[in-house]
Amino acid sequence: MRILLVLAAVAVASAIVIKEDTTVLIGKDNMVTMDIKKKEMCILKLVNHILQPTMYEDIREVAREWVLEENMDKYLRTDVVKKFIDTFKMGMLPRGEVFVHNNELHIEQAVKVFKVLYFAKDFDVFIRTACWLRERINGGMFVYALTACVFHRTDCRGITLPAPYEIYPYFFVDSHIMNKAFMMKMTKAATDPIMLDYYGIKVTDKNLVVIDWRKGVRRTMTEDDRISYFTEDIDLNTYMYYLHMSYPFWMTDDTYTVNKERRGEILSYATMQLLARHRLERLTHKMCDIKSMMWNEPLKTGYWPKIRLHTGDEMPVRSNNMIVVTKDNLKWKRLFDDVERKLRDGILTGKIERRDGTIISLKKTEDIENLARLVLGGMGLVGDDAKFMHMTHLMKKLMSYNGYNFDKYTYIPTAIDMYTTCLRDPVFWRLMKRVTDTFLLFKKMLPKYTRDDFDFPGVKVDRLTTDKLETFMDDYDMDITKGIYLDEVEMKKKESDIIMVARMRRLNHHPFKVTVDVTSEKTVDAVVRIFIGPKYDCVGRLMSVNDKRLDMVEIDTFLYKLETGKNTIVRNSLEMHGVIEQRPWTRRIVDNMVDTVGMISKTVDVESWWFKTRIGFPHRLLLPLGRRGGMPLQMFVIITPVKTNLVLPYVDMTIMKERRTCRWSVCFDTMPLGFPFDRRIDMTHFFTRNMKFTDVMVYRKDLGLSNKVKDVDMSDMVMKKDDLTYLDTDMLVRWSYKDVMMMSKDDMMRM
């Protein structure tokens, strides 16, 4: 059966190719009135094999014929076109270099590219401009600007972009995977069984190459590598990248509608929620919380990215016990201290005065928006053009190994320089912890919630229950074909002769349901918030509400109309607000009815995918790994009335609904994100009838018992004794009866 599924998948994958004779021809059809799927096909062709010149003649033809200077009247703002042309003539990031998200020069140019695309009058001008850019500017910069435009242009709503790990897989897979892929490309998928077994590669008769990510020696540097399966998860890093794309720190122009959203608060709360989720994963392995970044002591935590860029350069390795502040970056340390001190003084005094004399208020609840934009970017301390003078960027500069090369084209990024890789580095979580300390100081200055804030008169939560929570590690095949160069024959055919797939293991869990029984004395609209968090700390002590309030992960928030009498609210984890199932392969996007990974397919709802693929949190990662005997956690639910009485003059809920940026409760409720755990709680009046805690257990299932494992390679794996990753008790290691009997008691406990 498995063989049939694999062959079927290969046959489908081989058949689905983005060809000119089966898709819309750019420049030939009416691109203003075309439907959303044809628009989507145009975008797919533009980002296909971005490392090479385009293979499509229609794109090349449009790029040759379109002249920016002769079409100024086709843009809403001619000044941005003129500025771009001046920059382009002076010289931009060369096409072969790496585009870096944290490089000020790179971003400055990328923003100019974005503006030219964003201010195109209609979709026809937008696509023609994109074709012109595709053939002339750096590929990474082009994808960055194009992605931001697809996120923010109204005529692009409904377009599903390929996952960033398919467009540019180098940032998401270990270097040995790409090396093996190039080896198989050079040897035309040679089938020497000894070589294939040695490298953990399988080749089907349809030239589908499956490279096993797990084969080989797994190198570790610190105990943080125990949770690398979480921090290096491709969907989690995609989530971080798409958060940035939804709310770029450089998007400060009032022309952009993003300024009318709760953008800063969303980003700040997303940062705190990522930290809370990170703490749950550490708690699974009985690891205590991380500490805020300290500059005056050696950084004990090193990191080995194991990422090789398309240029052949390796992402720098940071050794353990590194001295952070040196004579080379002392000026950035002083600037960071000045910015942080100004922010904290502003929180304590309730205001920050800008150089032009205007006052930024930091007194009221809603002023978290101002603070978040100051900390994370979007509101300059010196002026609106000072987009890089914010805490996050300055801390990244301090950690960079490119002290003499910040504003050059030949910049080799570290892991924290890229939004697609920053979560992989353990030190980035410490940087985020320091950032959130600023938000916590602001929250500490606000008054505590009263009983009226918590209470919902006439509403009582009778019971909170859930299905068995069970996690496992399953297999996933990631398409890395776009990272392999096509030869001349393949360019003419517009497809690769070999489909390259990296088989990885990732955290997953069985879908579960949460049931809330509620009694209401009247029919009323309500907001339901569901959290999951720890019960005990890393050393086994029972945690109070205030101890764990920052560790509570908000897994679902939704509107619900309570009827008079008994109500039973049932929420399936797959339907929880703001979560996304597996992103489809690009090959599946092309043919919306076919699942190319060999599973039973279902029709993809275009509107649903459009919303979820932008800022949806991976459903797989709602729960921490857990333990085989069960990991004790607590689930919490609170039901409150819909509140829209807070004054948010800069917020337009209509715009947020139209753009579908409705993370958590931002589109239907004005209560602060994180309520009721965002402020310290006075326990004398916290517990009310409209909330309830319940104990839950998260169980980890053995790999061998998972029903989603596809053709697992059970060959002997190479293992180092000091390996600290989750694979130290993995089913992939062949255990004999003798091995088990010779285990120490500690080894048995770790299993």
The predicted model gives 560-584 an average pLDDT of: 90
Residues 493 and 620 both lie in one domain? yes
Residues 229 and 208 both lie in one domain? no
Place of tokens 């890789």: 421
The order of strands in the sheet holding 459-466 is 459-466, 513-520, 565-572
Q: How many domains does the chain have?
A: 5
142 within 8 A of 133, measured Cβ to Cβ: yes
Query: What is the rounded distance in angstroms from the CA atom of residue 16 to the CA atom of residue 584?
Result: 14
pLDDT digits 0-9 by tens, 218-251 = 667 788 888 999 999 999 999 999 999 988 888 8
631 within 8 A of 698, measured Cβ to Cβ: yes
Residues 230 and 179 both lie in one domain? no
> Does residue 734 fall inside a structural domain?
yes
CATH classification of the domain holding 319: 1.10.1280.10
Residues 720 and 643 both lie in one domain? no
529 within 8 A of 538, measured Cβ to Cβ: no
Peptide bond into 248 cis (omega under 30): no
Among 147, 180, 212, the domain-final residue is 212
pLDDT reading at 270 higher than 90? yes
Query: What count of Cα atoms within 13 Å lies in the side-chain half-sphere of residue 245?
Result: 27
Residues 405 and 343 both lie in one domain? yes
Pairing mode of beta strands 617-618, 631-641: unpaired
Residues 430 and 531 both lie in one domain? no
> Does residue 91 fall inside a structural domain?
yes
Residues 83 and 29 both lie in one domain? yes
pLDDT reading at 18 higher than 70? no
Query: What is the rounded distance in angstroms from the CA atom of residue 643 to the CA atom of residue 559?
Result: 12
The total number of residues shown for the chain amounts to 751
Q: Which of 343-357, 445-459, 598-612 has the lowest mean pLDDT?
A: 598-612
209 within 8 A of 189, measured Cβ to Cβ: yes
Query: What is the rounded distance in angstroms from the CA atom of residue 370 to the CA atom of residue 433?
Result: 19
CA 365 to chain CA centroid, nearest Å: 28
585 within 8 A of 166, measured Cβ to Cβ: yes
Residues 6 or more apart whose Cβ sits within 8 Å of residue 734: 714, 715, 716, 717
Query: What is the rounded distance in angstroms from the CA atom of residue 27 to the CA atom of residue 35?
Result: 15
φ, ψ of residue 684 to 5 degrees: the values are -70, -20
The predicted model gives 731-738 an average pLDDT of: 37
318 within 8 A of 302, measured Cβ to Cβ: yes
Question: 98, 248, 244: which is closest to 171 by C-alpha?
Answer: 98
Query: What is the rounded distance in angstroms from the CA atom of residue 498 to the CA atom of residue 366?
Result: 54
Residues 336 and 465 both lie in one domain? no
> Does residue 234 fall inside a structural domain?
yes
Residues 595 and 717 both lie in one domain? no
> Does residue 217 fall inside a structural domain?
no
Compute the chain's Rg from CA coordinates: 26
φ, ψ of residue 282 to 5 degrees: the values are -65, -40
Query: What is the rounded distance in angstroms from the CA atom of residue 173 to the CA atom of residue 502?
Result: 8
Q: How far is CA 577 from CA 563, 614, 668, in A?
A: 22, 13, 13
Among 399, 429, 445, the domain-final residue is 445
What value does the mean pLDDT of the chain take? 82
pLDDT reading at 620 higher than 70? yes
Residues 200 and 270 both lie in one domain? no
Which domain does 724 fall in, by range? 711-750
Sorting pLDDT into bands at 50, 70 and 90, what band is 402? low
Question: 331, 308, 379, 330: which is closest to 98 by C-alpha?
Answer: 308
> Does residue 125 fall inside a structural domain?
yes
3-state SS string for 58-79: HHHHHHHHCCHHHHHHHECCHH
> Does residue 705 fall inside a structural domain?
no
> Does residue 165 fall inside a structural domain?
no
> Does residue 45 fall inside a structural domain?
yes
CATH classification of the domain holding 122: 1.20.1370.10
Identity at 346, one-letter amino acid code: G
Residues 144 and 178 both lie in one domain? no
Residues 249 and 380 both lie in one domain? yes
pLDDT at 720: 37
**DSSP sequence for 350-395:** TEEE-TTS-EEE-SSGGGHHHHHHHHHSSS-SS-TT-TT-SHHHHH
pLDDT digits 0-9 by tens, 53-88 = 999 998 999 999 999 999 999 999 999 999 999 999
